[in-house]
Chains A and B, each alone.
Chain A
Amino acid sequence: MALLEVNKLVTEFHSREGVARALDQVSFTLEKGKVLGIVGESGSGKSVTAFSLMNLIDSPGRIASGNILFKGEDLLKLHPKRWNQLRGNRIAMVFQDPMMSLNPVMRIGDQLAETVSIHRPIRGSALNDLVHEALRKVGISAPRERMRAYPHELSGGMRQRVAIANAMINDPDLIIADEPTTALDVTIQAQILYEMKNLVRDSGTALIWISHDISVVKDLADDICVMYAGRVIERGPVHEVIRQPAHPYTQGLINSLPQSSGKGRRLYSIPGATPPLLSLPSGCAFAPRCARASSTCAQVPPTVVAGHREHRCYHPLGAL
C-alpha cells in the first residue's frame, strides 16, 4: 500500500466572478520514504495541492471532490480532532517564506517544543534535549544558544533550517515542502537542498517537494509531477521524464533551463502565458501555447498510462 494516494482531487475557489478550479482531477501516489517533486509555473496549483493535503484550504476555497488516502485513511473524511493529531505529527509542512512561517514573538526553542508537546508526552529536560538535537541535525551551530533566540535574530537560511527542524521533530511519515528554498539565495539553497536530501534518506520520511524549478527537482526527487493550470499533465520517474518528456509543456520547461540552450544563445521560453483559472480554454489548457496542438485538443485529454509513466496529451512526444 502506498503511503499517500491522491485520487482525482478537485479544489475550487468561489468568488463573485465565478468558480476557479485550482485543482482539477489531480492524482498521484507516493511510496514510503520516496521523494516526489511537483513542478509548475505560478498558479499551476502546486501550493494549492500542498494546502489541500494539509487541509489548510480556507474559505472561499474548498475541496470539492476526490479523496486523499494516507496510510489507508481517507483524510477528507477526518474529524478536525483527528486532523490535529496528524498534522505536525505524521504529516508536516515546510512553508515557502521562512521570514513569515515562524512566530515572531516566540523563542525558537519554544516553538519547536510546542510542536512536540502537543503530540507526545515529552516534557522537561527530555523535551529540551529533543529540541536541541533537532536543531543540531539541520545544521544549526550552537543550538543551545539559538533555542533562546527570536526568529528576527536569525538569517533567512537559519530560519528555514529551524522550520525544517520543526517539521522533522516528530519523525513524520510525510513532509510537504512548499518551495522552501525559493526565498533563499542560491548558495544557501544548494546547502539546504543537499541537507534535506540526506535528512529524509536517513529518517525514511517521504517528501513532497514543490518547486517551480525543474532543475532543483531533478537532483532531489524520485518521481516528478508536472502541473499546468491545476492539472497533472505528466508524471513518472524523474530521470525518465527529464530524459524523454512526453508532454510538450514538460519539454518546454526542460528547454527553458539555461543549460539547455547553447552558450551565447538566447534562452528558450515557452511562448504565451498561463491562462487565468477563471477562463480556461475548453480542452487542454496548454493547447493555445502548444506547437503540436490540433483540433482534437479542444477536448480535455485523458490520462494516458504507459508503464509507470503517465501523461495527458493527444500528441505526446517520442514513442510512449
Chain B
Amino acid sequence: MTSTSAQESASPATPMQLLLRRFLRNRVATAAALLLLLLILVALLAPVLSPQNPYDLSMVSFMDAEQPPGGVSVAHQMHFWLGSDGAGRDILSSILYGLRISLGIGLASAVVALFFGTCIGLLAAYAGGRVDAMLMRIVDIQLSIPTVLVALILLAALGQGVDKTLMALVLVQWATFARNVRGVAQVERGKEYVEAALGQGLPARYVMLRHVLPNCMAPLIVTTTNQIASAITLEATMSFLGIGLPQTRPSLGLLISNGFDYMLSNQYWISVFPGLALVLLVVSISLVGDQLRVALNPKLDL
C-alpha cells in the first residue's frame, strides 16, 4: 500500500488478482497449493483414475491379498503399485476413494459449521449485551472441552455413520467459528463505515449482512481452511478408533486402522501409504491456510 496516485494510474487489479499475486510469493505455499489441487482433482476423479474399484466385490479377489507394492494381480490384469490389503484390495485405489471421503467430510462439516458459527457470531456482535454474553459463554464451555472427547462421547451415543460423524464434527467446530466471527464483527462494527452505512438509512440488520460480514471474510477464510484440516484429522482419529465412519465408507483414518494389524508382520504398506496421503493432505491444507493468512493481511507487506 504505497502512494495512492501511482495506484490510481495503474490498471486496477481486482482483489482476487491481488490476493493471488500475494499468495504466489511464497514458494512452499505455492507448492502446497498445487499439491492440494492435485489431491482434490485426484479425489474427484477417483472412479476414473483408480485401477480398481476397491468396493466392487467382483473386482476384488482374496487371492491378491497382502501383495507388496509393485506386485502383480493374480485375478486381474493389473499392478498393485502400492500393494494390496488383507482382502486383496488395491491400496492406491483405496487411498483415492479414501481421499474423497476424508476431503468430503472435512469440507462438508467445516462449511456447515461455518454457516452456523457465522450466524451465531454475527448475532452476538449485532445484539450485544446479554445475548452476546450468553452466546459467548456457551462457546467458552464448548471450547473448554477437548474436541476429541466431545466427538467420542457424541459418536458413542449416536453410533456410527456418515451423517453422525458429520454432526459430531459440526458440533465441535461451530464454536470456533462463532467466536472468530463475533470478534472480527465487533471490531468492524466499531468502524466508521458502519456508522456511515447506518447514517445512510440502511437498516441495522442489512448493514450487518451486507457491510460487516463481507469485511469479516478474510479472517474467516483462514479459519475455515484450518478447520477443514482439523476436521479431516479429527475424522481420521474417530475412524481409526473405530467409532467414526462405517467399514463401507472407508476414509483414510479407517484405512490406516485396517492396516494397523499388519504392521507387525512387516506389511507396512497397508497402513503407511494411507497415512502418508493423510499427512500430505493435512499439511498442504495447513500451509495453504497459513499463506492465505499472510496474503489476506494488508498490513503484512511482503
Contact = CB atoms under 8 A, between A and B. Distances in A.
Partners in one complex: yes
Given A153-B7, A154-B8, A84 B196 contact: no
A118 interface: yes
A85 B202 CA distance: 9
A101 interface: yes
Q: How large is the interface on A (under 10, 10 to 19, 20 to 34, 35 or more residues)?
A: 35 or more
A88 B201 contact: yes
B203 A84 contact: yes
B201 A166 contact: no
Interface string B209-228: 01100110100000000000
Given A105-B214, A105-B217, A154-B8, A95 B195 contact: yes
A104 B193 CA distance: 8
A38 interface: no
B211 A103 contact: yes
Contacts of A242: none
Contacts of A154: 4, 8
Nearest to B7: A153
The interface centre, meaning the residue of A103, A153, A154, A155 with most chain B CB atoms within 10 A of its CB, is A103
A64 B15 CA distance: 45
B199 A87 contact: yes
A58 to B, nearest CB: 9
A274 to B, nearest CB: 24
B27 interface: no
Interface size grouping (class) on chain B: 20 to 34
Interface string A89-122: 1001101110011111110000000110011000
A101 B15 contact: no
Contact of B199 (A54, A96, A114, A150): A54
B214 A106 contact: yes
Nearest to A81: B203
Contacts of A95: 192, 195-196, 199
A127 to B, nearest CB: 15
B196 A93 contact: yes
B200 A102 contact: no
Given A106-B214, A153-B4, A154-B8, A89 B196 contact: no
Contact of A105 (B128, B201, B215): B215
Nearest to A169: B200
A153 B192 contact: no
B130 interface: no
Contacts of A152: 1, 4, 7
Nearest to A100: B192
A213 to B, nearest CB: 20
A60 B192 CA distance: 18
A155 B8 contact: yes
A103 B197 contact: yes
B12 interface: yes
Nearest to A116: B200
A227 interface: no
Given A85-B201, A105-B215, A153 B12 contact: yes
Contacts of A188: none
A71 interface: no
Contacts of A93: 196, 199
A79 B69 CA distance: 75
Contacts of B1: 152
B286 to A, nearest CB: 26
A257 B283 CA distance: 64
A225 B198 CA distance: 26
A267 to B, nearest CB: 32
A99 B203 CA distance: 23
A10 to B, nearest CB: 22
B221 to A, nearest CB: 13
Contacts of B192: 95-97, 100-101
A155 B6 CA distance: 10
A273 B128 CA distance: 36
Contacts of A158: 8
A30 interface: no
25 contacts: A54-B199, A56-B195, A59-B128, A87-B199, A87-B201, A88-B202, A92-B199, A93-B196, A95-B199, A100-B191, A100-B193, A101-B192, A101-B196, A102-B193, A103-B193, A105-B217, A114-B200, A114-B210, A115-B200, A152-B7, A153-B8, A154-B8, A155-B4, A158-B8, A166-B196
Interface of B: 1, 4-5, 7-8, 12, 15, 128, 191-193, 195-203, 210-211, 214-215, 217
Interface of A: 54, 56, 59, 83-89, 92-93, 95-97, 100-106, 114-115, 118-119, 148-150, 152-156, 158, 163, 166
Given A92-B200, A103-B211, 14 more contacts: A56-B199, A83-B201, A85-B201, A95-B199, A100-B193, A101-B193, A105-B15, A105-B214, A114-B202, A115-B201, A152-B7, A153-B8, A153-B12, A154-B8
